[in-house]
Amino acid sequence: MDNANKKEHKLSKVLGVIHIWALGVGIVLVGEFMGWNFAVAKGGTLGAIIACWVMGVLFISLVMVNTEIGSVIPEAGGQYAMAKYLLGPLAAFNIGLMLVFEYVMLEAADALVVGQILESLHPDVQALPYIILSLLFLTLLNYRGALAALSLNFVITAIAVCTIFILLIVTKFYTPADSLLNLKEMSNGLPYGWIGILGAFQFGIWFYLGIEGTALAAEECRSTGRSLPIGAIVGLITLLTGATITWYVCSGLVNADDLGKSVYPLYDAAVATKMPFVIAALFIGTILACLASANGCIHDAGRAWFSMSRDTLIPEQFGVLHPRYNTPHRAILFLLPISLAFGFTGLLDQVVTFSIFSALLVYAFTAIMMFKFRSMYPLGTIERGYICPAHPIPAIILAILTLATFAGMYFGYWINILGGLTFYFLASLWFVKYRCKSVDLENFITPRWPRPKGF
């Protein structure tokens, strides 16, 4: 692919701060409606909130690292594009694949939750048609353009966030004598001690998983140096606040044993209030959160797959943009049936675990890339839209907490870890043996990228 042709494969710059917020929060917010509560089963009620805040520190570090590098990278692809410029083709291929599976599996988890909450209405309800129609609609929206898709995400994400605050307010938390919350009776503390907290890290990460996907929209921002850092940081503040409220109301309304295995904990908390309006609001909020997450996942997975194809790491057929909408339509359509297939396995915790595992591998590589980036481009040698403060502390924190989360995952899901590592190892072998020779190394790095120090 020559440089002129590659230039034609640029995405449209149409996104602003609210779209980056909607992308980051929209993908992640579903983690407050489902998934995080498995941390209660692993570490107890207190273990879950400790995991929530420790993982919050991990993601604060991740967003700072991500935003500095992402505000400089001149194209879509997020951590994949970072690896392309900082680590080379093999690492970029693996990280791109990890990003795709992180979001495809998260989209599958969204489909599972939508199906189960619809079936909870009545045993005769058939969820499959609703799920397929919803995902087809969101795929069509992304097919036609990121601006419309993420504008919709802003609206439905904002509504879903409001439903969490509705649940908080009706509990009368501000007047302990009349409050519906009963943390003392419902919680179970730390039943497994400190080792339980380590085990809870795996699902505590679900409160924030996907916020790093804001970097995948860097090429589509009207002002990357402004939209990316502001949208990501405000989004993370939103998630930290929402995560704490979610833990508080759910732990005070639902018994810890039931909470630890619930498919939709916020909806169960609403049911515990016995207020029809609140139940209806959280039902709507759960559905909207799942749709917002699926919408963002379709966007991010499609961009990662498109970027890999545009750089010839996978077949170039997926690197084509729609002639009218200027979207990676082939990549978007290709990934839809894969996500649906995983969604209808019915194995929510397994799907969630593979998504988390893939994300953790990306985080580990991101910490490495931050050191490499600062080594290649010290402060003052290249213009940055954002500078990560106190480097290298955030990168070190990111690496340590990522490794700690891997350790916690090992206790219950070591087979999943082994299976995931085997999958990525075999994918690497395929790339080295069959695909590497087809990579267009001459045009792999855009000419706009500055030479590093000492080049």
3 state SS of 255: coil
Which pLDDT score, from 0 to 100, does residue 249 have? 96
Largest CA distance in the chain: 71
Domains, the chain, in order of start with CATH, read: 12-436 (1.20.1740.10)
pLDDT at 347: 73
**Separate counts of helices (H) and strands (E) for the chain:** 16, 0
- Name the residue among 238, 268, 242, 251 with its Cα closest to residue 179: 251
Nearest residue to 27 via CA among 231, 226, 220: 231
This prediction's pTM: 0.87
> Residue 420 class from Cβ within 10 Å (0-12 exposed, 13-18 middle, 19+ buried)?
buried
pLDDT at position 368: 96
What sign has the CA pseudo-torsion 262, 268, 272, 274?
Answer: negative
Place of tokens 């700690």: 404
Looking at beta carbons, which pairs linking 382-386 to residues 24 or more positions away fall under 8 Å? 382/72, 382/450, 383/72, 384/68, 384/71, 384/72, 384/225, 385/67, 385/71, 385/72, 385/224, 385/225, 385/226, 385/228, 385/229, 386/67, 386/68, 386/71, 386/225, 386/228, 386/229
- Report pLDDT for 60: 92
Non-local CB neighbours of 347 within 8 Å, separated by 6+ positions: none
149 burial level (CB within 10 Å; 0-12, 13-18, 19+):
buried
Please give the pLDDT value at position 6: 46
Q: Per residue of the chain (455 residues), what is the pLDDT tens digit?
A: 444 444 456 778 888 899 999 989 998 998 899 889 989 999 999 999 999 999 999 999 998 898 888 778 767 667 898 898 889 899 999 999 999 999 998 888 888 788 778 877 777 777 778 778 888 888 999 998 888 888 999 999 999 999 999 999 999 999 988 899 998 899 999 998 889 999 899 889 989 988 888 877 877 888 877 888 888 889 999 999 999 999 999 999 999 999 998 888 999 999 999 999 999 999 999 999 989 999 999 998 998 999 899 888 998 899 888 988 889 999 999 999 988 888 777 677 788 888 889 999 999 999 999 999 999 888 888 888 788 999 999 999 999 999 999 998 887 788 989 999 999 999 999 999 988 888 877 777 766 677 666 54
CA nearest to 119, candidates 300, 263, 304, 294: 263
**Token reading at 43:** 């570490």
Q: Give me the pLDDT at residue 267, please.
A: 93
